[in-house]
Amino acid sequence: MQLRHLRRLLATEPTLRHAKNAKNADSAGGVGEHAGRARRVRAVVERLARVERAPLVTVESTASVREGLHHERLVFQSPVRGSFDGTLLAPLDPAPGPAVLVLGGKNARLDQLTGDVPPDHPDRNVAEQLARAGFVTLSFDHGIGGGLDAGRRAGRDEGTLLAHAFALTGRSLLGALTGDALGALDVLDAHPRVDPLRVGLFGHSLGAAVALHTALLSGRQDVPLCTASHLGSYQALFERLLTGHEGAVLPGILEYADLPDLYGTLAPAPLQLQYGTADSYLDPDDARAAADAVRETYTNVGAEVEVHELAMGHGTHVGHAAGFFTRTLATTRPPTQAAPQVPAQRIHFEVDERRTVLDRVDAALSSGILTQGPQVARFEELAHPWTGTDTAAVASGSAALEIALRIIGVAGRTVLVPVNTFFATAAAAVRAGAAVRFVDIELDGLGMDPDALHAALDRHPDTAAVLPVHIGGIVSPALDPVLAHCHRYGIPVVEDAAHAFGATLDGRPAGSFGRFGAFSFFPTKVAVSGEGGLLSAASADDLEQVRRWRDHGKSAQGSTLHDRPGGNWRLSELHAAVGTVDLERFTGTLAARRVLAARYDALLADVPGIRPHAVPAAAGSNYYKYLAYLDPDGPLDRPLLKKLLRERHGVALAGEVYDHLLCDHPQFARQRELDAAGGPFERARWFARHHVALPLYPSLTEAEQIRVVAALRSELP
């Protein structure tokens, strides 16, 4: 028997279990710890559920009035499930009102939930009873009864067979049911009789499991949830009582969280739990302990959970459910999230993409090759279409710049960089042994000003390299005269293309104009690997030099001899696993960023006090930043505007590029005294003072963009 093995596994503490010594509700640490744990639990649930999010289309709707209720018979079409039936019930008053998505148990028939046929149990017609209590209700057929041939099924439970079959694909029946419920929730939101800000979830038994996971994955932090006859610990339900159903649990979830932990993750959203002391599927003591654990979590964040221990079997107390929804859906509730509703940055990997990353990390771990292996090679290969040349992956964008400058040999000489760029551009030259001098920018493409560069080259005849920077993802048309000046003087160019992966000028990709192009894949960039960088170069010899420098200056790959003072500038296989997945989707990423930028252009057209930066026609921007200018004579400065947008509207602007010029950093204070001839950098200083960067990332929605612009309109004169 494998029982001993099973019991040992079930006794293992879930890794995301709510800490027993959590801090009190009046402690910001306790609330913050809960929020962080809740994010991790939701991420695990999303990964394990592998919900295929697909919109439901209503292909048939038949409306009638039955016994004082509005009745709609619906037929949904799902690209993953096909067609299935649903029923919407509503009070006769057509005004938008509160609504509940009703999810019945495994044996609940749709026509019984809605009262179309007499229920086989007094509380089975939950949807009808809630509708008569004043709520719009939507129910649908789970599709786990009557689909398999009865003869071949040989008396076995159809839901169990389906759960096992889903497991063959690494998925779960619960994930499939949750996907249906998420689609139905969207249908309910969009119905003309429904106020989308007053929608709750109800579930009984298996339906309660579906409702719980729908609440966890819906993206709504405050949706009211009422569940009946689904409470306890997974250990008791699946090992001691043997009453747990495969369709009500995610495979692998107990490694991370038990059922009470999942309920607790919803805190402080309204929650009602019902269970019966005569329920043969539950152990009252186990259910009571689970309820206490959920109550503790809610208490620790200053919220309350309703728990009803009732003298009933495996059923529902509809009266308690109706009262709960009457209280929680009576008025539109303000969002409970404290974080900005539109963040400055949001990195999003779909669950299948995350699983692909995990598979590649696992492949690296199983092979024992954790750096400079096949994932890094694949990363370099995927980058080629976007750089126009071959590449070598390194540990960071800063490492890429330093390696390029060391290959050129800038030690003891001057390197010219634009005065408006990130500190790392100049710091890389300093670490390579150069003296850094600054050059003003031009305001059309935000590139290095050609005339200022020409003057700097005359002032610094020892210039070893020039580092133009593609600010905000724009490759400036001014790059052409910059390149011409450098060619005339015989000076190599290193493009700092940290912002510009995928950007172009006259169809040529960033990183293909100079001797080297240096890219960053830091989490804020348009393509990410966590930490990582890339050097592009047309010369095969230059790339071979990069590979030696990045690996401690080895004289050849695999050699134990070193012929230069290289560094540990390698990219790990684990970072490359993230990077390859992101590069495989980069075509869509770039297209999404450009669509979002075009929408901002349209939305901002008549907003006073702000002017979008006009990207030059020849530049194909990747919109690393969406830049705009505040009215220089307006009453609001940038810090005040950012504060008002964050506090009054939940909108966070992105970081500037940049708010301080390099010459103003303490690192270069002494140099400022020695190099006064290069200032006062009037154009760069004007740009640094007056631009803002609106939030822009592929997961930004149209509604969020409208919110950003509405917030700007309300605060700008």
In order, the DSSP letters of 651-692 are: B-PBPPS-SS-GGGSGGGHHHHHHTGGG---HHHHHHHHHEE
Which CATH number covers residue 133?
3.40.50.1820
Is the pLDDT score of 287 beyond 90? yes
Number of folded domains that form the chain: 3
Which CATH number covers residue 516?
3.40.640.10
For residues 510 and 628, state if they share a domain.
no
For residues 48 and 186, state if they share a domain.
yes
pLDDT in tens, 418-452: 999 999 999 999 999 999 999 999 999 999 999 99
For residues 560 and 528, state if they share a domain.
yes
Q: Is 425 among the domain residues?
A: yes
For residues 650 and 564, state if they share a domain.
no
pLDDT in tens, 71-81: 999 999 999 99
Q: Is 276 among the domain residues?
A: no
Q: Do 467 and 401 meet the contact criterion of CB atoms below 8 Å apart?
A: yes
For residues 125 and 73, state if they share a domain.
yes
Helix axes 351-367, 374-387, angle to 10 degrees: 130
Domain stop point among 234, 259, 284? 259
Q: What is the SS3 assignment for 222-269?
A: CCCEEEECCCCCHHHHHHHCCCCCHHHCCCCHHHCCCHHHHHHHCCCC
> Does residue 64 sit in helix, strand or coil?
strand
For residues 513 and 607, state if they share a domain.
no
**676 vs 669, residue with greater confidence:** 669
Average pLDDT across the chain, whole number: 93
List the structure tokens of 426: 């100049």
Q: What are phi and psi of 306, to 5 degrees?
A: -85, 125
First to last CA, the chain: 76
262-267 average pLDDT score: 97
Neighbouring C-alpha atoms within 13 Å toward the C-beta of 642 = 16
- Inter-CA distances, 227 with 41, 152, 203, Å: 19, 34, 5
For residues 609 and 534, state if they share a domain.
no
140-147 average pLDDT score: 87
**558 vs 297, residue with greater confidence:** 297
pLDDT in tens, 519-531: 999 999 999 999 9
For residues 619 and 473, state if they share a domain.
no
Give the model's pLDDT for residue 24.
Answer: 44
For residues 532 and 397, state if they share a domain.
yes
Q: Is 514 among the domain residues?
A: yes
How many whole angstroms separate alpha carbon 269 and alpha carbon 328?
Answer: 10
CA neighbor of 466 nearest in space, from 449, 453, 481:
453
How many whole angstroms separate alpha carbon 435 and alpha carbon 414?
Answer: 5
Q: Is 344 among the domain residues?
A: no
Which CATH number covers residue 657?
3.90.1150.10
Give the model's pLDDT for residue 29.
Answer: 53
Continuous segment of H or E residues that includes residue 567: none
Q: Is 48 among the domain residues?
A: yes
Give the model's pLDDT for residue 533.
Answer: 98
Domain around 478: 351-585
Give the model's pLDDT for residue 437.
Answer: 95
Is the pLDDT score of 224 beyond 80? yes
How many whole angstroms separate alpha carbon 455 and alpha carbon 446?
Answer: 18
Q: Do 86 and 184 meet the contact criterion of CB atoms below 8 Å apart?
A: yes
pLDDT in tens, 323-363: 999 999 987 655 544 445 899 999 999 999 999 999 999 99
Neighbouring C-alpha atoms within 13 Å toward the C-beta of 586 = 25
Domain stop point among 585, 620, 635? 585
Give the model's pLDDT for residue 574.
Answer: 97
Is the pLDDT score of 53 beyond 90? no
Q: Is 420 among the domain residues?
A: yes
Is the pLDDT score of 18 beyond 80? no
Q: Is 327 among the domain residues?
A: no
Beta partners for 532?
none
pLDDT in tens, 368-409: 999 999 999 999 999 999 999 999 999 999 999 999 999 999
Q: Do 273 and 259 meet the contact criterion of CB atoms below 8 Å apart?
A: no
597-626 average pLDDT score: 97
Domain stop point among 566, 585, 604? 585
Tokens 């930066």: give the residue.
613
Tokens 């499991």: give the residue.
209
Q: Is 412 among the domain residues?
A: yes
What is the pTM assigned to this prediction? 0.86
**628 vs 25, residue with greater confidence:** 628
For residues 619 and 559, state if they share a domain.
no
How many whole angstroms separate alpha carbon 139 and alpha carbon 211?
Answer: 12
Give the model's pLDDT for residue 10.
Answer: 79
For residues 118 and 29, state if they share a domain.
yes
For residues 397 and 409, state if they share a domain.
yes
How many whole angstroms separate alpha carbon 661 and alpha carbon 668?
Answer: 10
